[in-house]
């Protein structure tokens, strides 16, 4: 199975937090018992680490950039990826 794609319509002044919350809240992200952490990148730049909502104890999103950063200021090619880290 290849990568999954989804399109999200967001306001021009959308923050990284707004984007990550929208994607995570949509339940689009797929986690498993062995894949519990996803790294979010905007135009190749790491912006956040998102954890499975089923993990115990629960972990909040960890931002690699200030969460209020406007997405358009770093989205050179309008691409956002969520991927598992390969060990």
Structure tokens at 59: 């972990």
CA distances from 68 to 5, 23, 28 (A): 25, 16, 22
The parts of the chain modelled with pLDDT lower than 70 are: 1-4, 85-87
- Contacts of residue 3, defined as CB under 8 A and 6 or more positions apart, other chains included, come to none
What pLDDT shows up at residue 1? 44
User: 49, 70, 71: which is closest to 61 by C-alpha?
Assistant: 49
pTM for the model stands at 0.80
């Amino acid at each position: 199975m290849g990568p999954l794609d989804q399109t999200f319509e967001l306001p021009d002044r959308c923050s990284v937090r707004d984007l990550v919350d929208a994607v995570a809240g949509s339940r689009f992200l797929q986690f498993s018992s062995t894949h519990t952490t996803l790294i979010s990148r905007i135009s190749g730049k790491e912006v956040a680490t998102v954890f499975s909502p089923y993990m115990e104890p629960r972990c909040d999103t960890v931002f690699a950039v200030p969460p209020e950063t406007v997405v358009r200021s770093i989205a050179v090619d309008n691409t956002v990826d969520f991927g598992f880290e390969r060990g």
